[in-house]
Structure 1
Amino acid sequence: MVLSQNEFLPRAESTLARLEGAVLDALSHHGKPSVSSLAGVFRQEARLSPSQLAQALCPGPLSPIGFAALVMRELLAPVDVVLEGSVSEARVVTGNARAPSSLRVTCPLIVLGDLEVEGVLEDCGPDSTVVVLGRCTAWGLQTSGNFLVLGDLVVRDVIQGVYNDESLVVAGDLTTRFLDENDHDVTCYGEVHAEHHLENGRSGDAAVTLASTFLRPELWNVDLGELHHDALFERIQEGEPVFTDAPQAPQVREPDAPTAEELEGLDIEGIAAQASTNARAKDVVYAQRKTGEVWLMRPGSLPLHIFDGKQLLGQGTPPALDVKQRASERVTFWRKRGDLFLEIERFGAVVQLHAGQNNGSLRTFRFAFATPDDAAQEVRRLEARYTGDFLRVTSMIPGRGPLERELANYGGPKTEYTSAIVDGTTLVTRDGERQRFDDEASALSALEDWLAGKRQAGFDLKILEWKPYGLLG
């Protein structure tokens, strides 16, 4: 099949004259269709194959390729095809197209009839452009490229727009159970029938709050303000349920800052005045009314101050710590609100506290006790004090990722950094070490040996953070 300039351009003139209504509106979404936009494609060659024409017009605005597809439909004999798995080379289907499973499109795909996908349809903008002149149906649609449907778009479960560079444009009706525009341009010139609709520009927290009422809990995280779209579409493809059987109560992320109830009865102004001349009541990041404890921190400028209900910690000279020691025990607490942490280390009769914010400022406090038993009793007291407000963790922060300790050595001519993560039963360090063990407890014990060695080499804890992908860097 070839397209001749002498035949194609006159037919384009007559096609353009007949365009009207929603089809013309959809074609004009990226600019008015014109014959001149098509004539330029034939400058070098008088004859082109349909796929060559599509490739020459893509990537780019939808108007020229959508208009060209209408002209091709009038000139080419319809032939139906079955699409398997993926489309990786520019293709024009002159009839109807059917995919018996999921379909991934990484280049221009033009369907002059209907497109039916028995699974998830995914395009890959900006390299992909999808144009369907008829009806388009799928179980799920994940679109990051330019996607034009001049008939109806019917997606059984979920449509997700990805990125804000391209557009999903529908001339007919758009029907789906869950439409998440995210930050993508989604425009329908017919009617939108969506049971659940998150419009362009929605915030992550707002999206999760709404999604928590109808999506299964494993597909969203209220603390991170995230929808797990990849898992959502994997479940759709596998035929697993993604929607709850009945509407659920909306889940709302707790505020990072202390609430009025938590602050009630606490003399924040007085505590701030004791802490520093630069401290303000608005710097409070944690408060526990039961014990009177208050944390004050202003990211980037004010170091962490902890008032334990009776006094500010760290006012005296801290006791010396024998860095050759291996920690007798370690307890780590994490608070999702504000991403605050508290790590308690005991070295014989010395207790050391590291407190701060994920990947942010950290302050270390150290206390000496008469005997190791007295120090161990203090660790138990601190455990009881923070249990409830904080979550005790070992190697993972639930809903976040693996817990990484980054250490720094400022003593040499050049500052050195290193870090470590316990990933399952493996100790992974930035130095390139990967030590595998039979269980997590053994990996955590090896971490203590690694930390002791780094302390002896002059390293101190610099940052405690969670890594969303478990990568050291």
Structure 2
Amino acid sequence: MLLAPHEFLPRAEATLARLEGAVLEALSHHDGPSVESLAEAFPKDAPLSPEGLAQALCPGPLSPIGFAAVVMREVLPPVDALLDGPVSEARVVTGNARAPGALSVTCPLVVLGDLEVEGVLEDCGPDSTIVVVGRCTAWGLKTSGNFLVLGDLVVRDAIQGIYNDDSLVVAGDLSTRFLDEYDHDVTCYGEVHAEHHFKNGRSGEEAASLASTFLVPELWNLDLGALHHDDLFERIQRGEPVFTATPQPRQVREPDEPSAEELEGLDIEGIAVRAPVSARAKDVVYAQRKTGEVWLLRPGGFPVQIFDGQRFLEEGATLALDVKQRASERVTFWRRRGDLFLEMERFGAVVQLHAGYNNGSKRTFRFAFETPDAAVRELRRLEARYAGDFLRVTALVPGRGPLEREFANYGGPKAEYTSAIVKGTALITRGGEPQHFDDEAAALSALEDWIAGRRQAGFDLKILEWRPFGLLGA
């Protein structure tokens, strides 16, 4: 059936005069509904199919397409539909619609009756716009586009809003167990019934802490300050539990900076004054009371200064030692709190120590010993020194992500960069094909050969990071 403008627009005029209450408020959320906005969608007064009208009004504010849906409901005969697959082309269901499983919507979808989804409903803004004139129900809702419900919205488990460009607008009541507005505009003109409600603008750290009281532990991470929304909705779709059986004590992330107990008895002011470069007591990022060790690191590029309890360590690059061969052994530590790392390499009788900040500044220290055995003893001493405060890692920083090593060569006409990670039993390098091995140990051994080859080509370690940002991570 085609919608002729000379019939459709007069009906819209009459409908607009009758609109009131929450429905009118919801339709006016982006702008007031108007007949003119509908008239502009008809090219040269030619008729349009319902899908053609929806396509002409989307993407855009909710008012025109929502108003058009109300008018279409009055003029089109209701025909129910089964949505048994993704909606990838504009569609108008003139009656009720039911999806027997998860429903993915990547284009305009208008339902003039009720929409029932027996699974997770996910849209894809800005390409998608969903309008439900009646009632909408689902197990879960993940929305990043414009979504308008003129009846009630009832979501069994969880609603998540993503991105701040579009809106979820409900004229009736909104009911769900967990509503996470995240950074999305969520507006309800009825009543909101949510057992757990995270408002727009909440921080990731706060969300993870609050979620620890009611979501299963696999769905939140205090170190990352994040909720694992993808896992949340995958679990909902599979029918697996996402909520704890009983309320749990709230978990709070330990602060990155040293605690008062860790600083007790340390003369931080005096240590900062003795630093080789201008340092301040407030630059302290790590302290160990039992050894008197203090790390000073100023945000914005201040290189880490390490006071080992007696003196500040000197930059090791001045020792001009050959460390381009394959390392005899490697030990990598990551701070349990914050983003500090230590990587210790032994090259025969030489120990090389890298210390720095995730995806930030790094310094390298080198120590030469009379024999390889003496270097081994020093490495064991360092391992014992940092055990407890730091986590020993190989390919993955627990709870955070893959460990990526980036190398740089500044010797040519322009800087060159490369990086590598070990993922499972594979060695993956930037610009190269993944190499697969029988086990992780073999992949880590291949990583050592790769590092030696890079150093022989003039590269040296630039940074370690646990959340890859570069080309390899992408």
**Under a length normalisation based on structure 2, what TM-score does the superposition of the two structures give?**
0.96
SS in structure 2 at match of 1:37: helix
Q: Deviations over 1:27-80 (max 9, x none)?
A: 111111111221222342332211111111111111111111111111111111
C-alpha distance 128-325 of structure 1, shift in aligned 2 (>3 A)? closer
* Identical residues among aligned pairs (%): 79
Q: In the alignment, is the contact (CA less than 8 A) between 1:402 and 1:470 conserved in 2? A: no
Alignment of 1:285-296 (within 5 A): 285-296=285-296
Specify the alignment match of 1:464 in structure 2: 464
RMSD: 1.7
C-alpha distance 317-452 of structure 1, shift in aligned 2 (>3 A)? closer
Q: Deviations over 1:337-383 (max 9, x none)?
A: 23110011111121111100111111111112222111111111111
- Shift, 1:135, TM fit: 0.6
Specify the alignment match of 1:103 in structure 2: 103
- Shift, 1:316, TM fit: 8.4
Tell me which stretches of 4 or more aligned residues in structure 1 moved more than 6 Å: none
Structure 2 unmatched ranges of 5 or more = none
Specify the alignment match of 1:132 in structure 2: 132
- Shift, 1:270, TM fit: 0.8
Distance in 2 between the 1:13 and 1:191 partners? Answer: 30
**Are 2:29 and 1:21 equivalent residues in the alignment?**
no
C-alpha distance 82-433 of structure 1, shift in aligned 2 (>3 A)? closer
- Shift, 1:437, TM fit: 1.6
Q: In the alignment, is the contact (CA less than 8 A) between 2:317 and 2:365 conserved in 1? A: no
Specify the alignment match of 2:364 in structure 1: 364
Alignment of 1:254-293 (within 5 A): 254-293=254-293
Specify the alignment match of 1:234 in structure 2: 234
- Shift, 1:471, TM fit: 5.6
Alignment of 1:363-442 (within 5 A): 363-442=363-442
Amino acid at match of 2:420: A
Alignment of 1:23-62 (within 5 A): 23-62=23-62
Q: Deviations over 1:404-457 (max 9, x none)?
A: 222222233433322221222222222414322211111212222222222223
Distance in 2 between the 1:133 and 1:324 partners? Answer: 69
Specify the alignment match of 2:329 in structure 1: 329
Specify the alignment match of 1:70 in structure 2: 70
SS in structure 2 at match of 1:3: coil
- Shift, 1:116, TM fit: 0.3
SS in structure 1 at match of 2:297: strand
SS in structure 2 at match of 1:298: coil
Amino acid at match of 2:131: V
Structure 1 unmatched ranges of 5 or more = none
Q: In the alignment, is the contact (CA less than 8 A) between 1:401 and 1:469 conserved in 2? A: no
Amino acid at match of 1:172: G
C-alpha distance 118-470 of structure 1, shift in aligned 2 (>3 A)? farther
Distance in 2 between the 1:225 and 1:368 partners? Answer: 41
Distance in 2 between the 1:13 and 1:336 partners? Answer: 64
Q: In the alignment, is the contact (CA less than 8 A) between 2:336 and 2:389 conserved in 1? A: no
Distance in 2 between the 1:413 and 1:86 partners? Answer: 51
C-alpha distance 46-446 of structure 1, shift in aligned 2 (>3 A)? closer
Distance in 2 between the 1:430 and 1:69 partners? Answer: 50
Specify the alignment match of 1:10 in structure 2: 10
C-alpha distance 416-438 of structure 1, shift in aligned 2 (>3 A)? same
SS in structure 2 at match of 1:306: strand
Q: Deviations over 1:226-246 (max 9, x none)?
A: 111111111111111111111
Q: In the alignment, is the contact (CA less than 8 A) between 1:407 and 1:417 conserved in 2? A: yes
Q: In the alignment, is the contact (CA less than 8 A) between 2:301 and 2:361 conserved in 1? A: no
Distance in 1 between the 2:152 and 2:84 partners? Answer: 23
**Under a length normalisation based on structure 1, what TM-score does the superposition of the two structures give?**
0.96
- Shift, 1:458, TM fit: 2.4
Distance in 1 between the 2:73 and 2:218 partners? Answer: 45
Specify the alignment match of 2:300 in structure 1: 300
C-alpha distance 260-100 of structure 1, shift in aligned 2 (>3 A)? same
- Shift, 1:320, TM fit: 4.2
Q: In the alignment, is the contact (CA less than 8 A) between 1:152 and 1:173 conserved in 2? A: yes
Q: Deviations over 1:200-230 (max 9, x none)?
A: 1111111111111111111111101111111
Amino acid at match of 2:157: D
Specify the alignment match of 1:452 in structure 2: 452
Q: Deviations over 1:103-151 (max 9, x none)?
A: 1111111111100000011111111111111110000001111111111
Distance in 1 between the 2:223 and 2:317 partners? Answer: 38
SS in structure 2 at match of 1:464: strand
**Which range moved further: 94-103 or 83-92?**
83-92
Q: In the alignment, is the contact (CA less than 8 A) between 1:118 and 1:138 conserved in 2? A: yes
Distance in 2 between the 1:334 and 1:348 partners? Answer: 24
Distance in 1 between the 2:373 and 2:195 partners? Answer: 61
Q: In the alignment, is the contact (CA less than 8 A) between 2:160 and 2:180 conserved in 1? A: yes
- Shift, 1:277, TM fit: 4.8
Specify the alignment match of 1:92 in structure 2: 92
SS in structure 2 at match of 1:141: strand
Q: In the alignment, is the contact (CA less than 8 A) between 1:405 and 1:421 conserved in 2? A: yes
Q: In the alignment, is the contact (CA less than 8 A) between 1:351 and 1:367 conserved in 2? A: yes
How many residue pairs match? The answer is 473
